[in-house]
Amino acid sequence: MTALHLRGVVLPGEETRDLWVVNGRIRFTPVPNAETVVNGGFLVPGLVDAHCHIGISPSGNPTLEEAAEQAEIDRDSGALLVRDCGSPIDTRPLQERLDLPRIVRAGRHISRPKRYIRYLGVELEDPEQLLEAVAEQAAYGDGWVKLVGDWIDRSVGDLAPLWPDDVLVKAMKVAHDAGARVTAHVFGEDSIPGLLAAGIDCIEHGTGLTADTIAMMASSGAALVPTLINIELFPDLAANATKYPIYAAHMRQLHASVRDTVRTAVEAGIPVYAGTDAGGGIDHGRLVDEIEALHSTGMSRTDALAAGSWAARGWLGYSGIEDGSAADIVAYPADPRTDLSVLRSPTRIVLRGRIVR
């Protein structure tokens, strides 16, 4: 394989430097006869979609080939690492393809009957079955387990928790003992205290965070992936919920307050990462939209970019542009910390040391 040479400002730093790529790894020492593929501009660690679904589509569960096409769309947007937050199909074969983003899988959603989107998750009749299901998904996934923390309960006409607090404590221990982290889909307020008290590692969406639970979450160290572009769908969900007016009003209120909620979470020191919730109602390839949405809540451009690049990579156990690191690099003609729209126009995408664009 031909060695590659890249020169540019290496983010998150300010230094212009040369780097070489050999056998999929970055080197900071010169390599003879390397092909120069970037000469100027800015070099960013591969972008990260921290909440994505490779293997879900609005029309149903896609084939593995369709899931690969989804991954290609994400890759071409610069997202070279995705945390798949639940898929009904086995996407492990895609992890073997060198031309697709690195995929960190959370296995399948764990839910209750009639308390989540049909066919997507593992549905448990008895909440006590959660311990066994968590153990199974911890073994099946890549260090993450995905719970459905709340969903509409039609018997009460509003969002409600799925799991008793005492069961969550035991289930979290099962996951952590297996070396896995746990995240949960949460829209409303009521399930968050129990999840945090049980030791949850991450909250997805988090629109129901309050001042009290934000303080609790900041103390716990749990992360937040707010999926802001997904929250833009809440008014449509409310409009279609004519049988459940309390739920509809609740969803509209959560939508109206989400940017203030995320701003408060950021100010409290909660780690926040960029995730699109692509799959289902959100198209793949929209990570830049999410990064820009995070900036709109008050995050600096640099912090919003970090949430979708080097900070998210570190959170998921991957390094940035360092000597000896895997060569996942996106090159841009100008500084995205000054103008995030630059992220829409990469000049080179290098994945696993190979040029893919």
pLDDT digits (tens, 9 = 90+) for 199-246: 999 999 999 999 999 999 999 999 999 999 999 999 999 999 999 999
Question: Using one digit for the tens of pLDDT, what is the confidence trace for 316-333?
Answer: 999 999 999 999 999 999
**Can you list the domains of the chain with their CATH numbers?**
4-44+319-355 (2.30.40.10), 47-316 (3.20.20.140)
According to DSSP, the residues that pair with 204 across neighbouring strands are 185, 225
- pLDDT at residue 98 above 90? yes
pLDDT at site 119: 87
Question: Using one digit for the tens of pLDDT, what is the confidence trace for 106-150?
Answer: 999 999 999 999 889 999 999 999 999 999 999 999 999 999 999
The amino acid at 2: T
Please answer whether residues 44 and 309 qualify as being in contact, where contact means their C-beta atoms are separated by less than 8 angstroms.
Answer: yes
Neighbours of 78 (CB within 10 A): 29
User: In which band, very low, low, confident or very high, does the pLDDT at 161 lie, cut at 50, 70 and 90?
Assistant: very high
Which pTM does this prediction carry?
0.97
Does the CA dihedral 142-287-231-207 come out positive or negative?
Answer: positive
Compute the radius of gyration of the chain from its Cα atoms: 20
Which range has the worst mean pLDDT, 59-73, 166-180, 224-238, 245-259?
A: 59-73
Query: Which of 153, 154, 155 shows the shortest CA–CA distance to 163?
Result: 153
pLDDT at site 1: 65
| Contacts with 14 (C-beta within 8 Å, 6 or more apart), sequence order | none
Q: What is the DSSP letter of 158?
A: E
